[in-house]
Amino acid sequence: MKKKVLFIIDPQVDFISGSLVVPGAVVAMDKLAEYLEQHGNEYDFVFITADWHPLTHCSFTPNGGQWPVHCVQHTVGAAIHQAIINALDKIKADYDVLTKGDDENREEYSIFNNVINGAFLKAFADHEEIDSIDICGLAGDICVLNSLKDALQAFPSTKFNVLEAFSPSIDGGKALSEFVEKTERVNFA
């Protein structure tokens, strides 16, 4: 039996109201929580990804990177948006949180770039018959887009839907829209 998966990319406090806010993230993540209450049980698997950076991470400006310090391990900024957790708990959804960016010397915009969780998802793709994958989260033009590109390779016969209303971008949606328009097997929903 073919199955349906939902990937929620990095719905974390620092991207919503913390040190690296994505424009429109508060409204989008609250609407995603409402969507989950109504449609969350339509998914066979729900995966939430999360940046889980050490304070010494190479992407941080104090360490020579391009981003402010964000989603540091064991801090409030790294927490998953509470409304999303509440919605998943309310419908008694089974979900997994997969971390990335925990190696201080590697940038991992895509969950598939994480050594442990990337291998887990590749094994999952090999063992499950997945008909469709919905993907959304923060930020649409960076971590959602990069995870989508890698997911297309990991799931070569699966259809993808980008839940546009729940995928705000730093660039206003330009990069994600351009990719969806030119890529087979990917649509906005």
pLDDT for res 27: 98
Q: Nearest 5°: CA angle at 138, between 69 and 26?
A: 90
Write out the H or E segment, with its range, that includes residue 182.
helix 174-182
Q: Beta partners for 162? A: 135, 188
Q: Which of 123, 119, 149, 121 is nearest to 135 (CA)?
A: 149
pLDDT for res 23: 98
Q: Are 14 and 20 in contact (CB under 8 A)?
A: yes
pLDDT for res 2: 83
Domain ranges in the chain are: 3-188
- In 110-149, which positions are buried (b, 16+ CB within 10 angstroms) versus exposed (e)? bbbbbeebbebbeebbeeeebebbbbbbbbbbbbbbbbbe
pLDDT for res 126: 94
Q: Are 185 and 159 in contact (CB under 8 A)?
A: yes
* CA dist., res. 46 & res. 41, Å (int): 9
Q: Is this model's pTM higher than 0.85 or not?
A: yes
In this structure, whether the domain defined by 3-188 belongs to CATH 2.60.40.4070 is answered with no
pLDDT for res 1: 74
Strands 159-162 and 95-100, sheet pairing: unpaired
Quote the DSSP letter at residue 143.
Answer: I
* CA dist., res. 182 & res. 57, Å (int): 34
Q: Which of 42, 18, 43, 45 is nearest to 29 (CA)?
A: 18
Secondary structure of 29-87 as H, E, C letters: HHHHHHHHHHHHHHCCEEEEEEECECCCCCCEHHHCCCECCCCECCCHHHCECHHHHHH
Cα–Cα distances in angstroms (integers) from residue 72 to residues 22, 60, 143, in the given order: 17, 10, 16
Query: How does pLDDT run along the chain (189 residues), one tens digit per residue?
Result: 789 999 999 999 999 999 999 999 999 999 999 999 999 999 999 999 999 999 999 999 999 999 999 999 999 999 999 999 999 999 999 999 999 999 999 999 999 999 999 999 999 999 999 999 999 999 999 999 999 999 999 999 999 999 999 999 999 999 999 999 999 999 999
Q: Are 143 and 109 in contact (CB under 8 A)?
A: yes
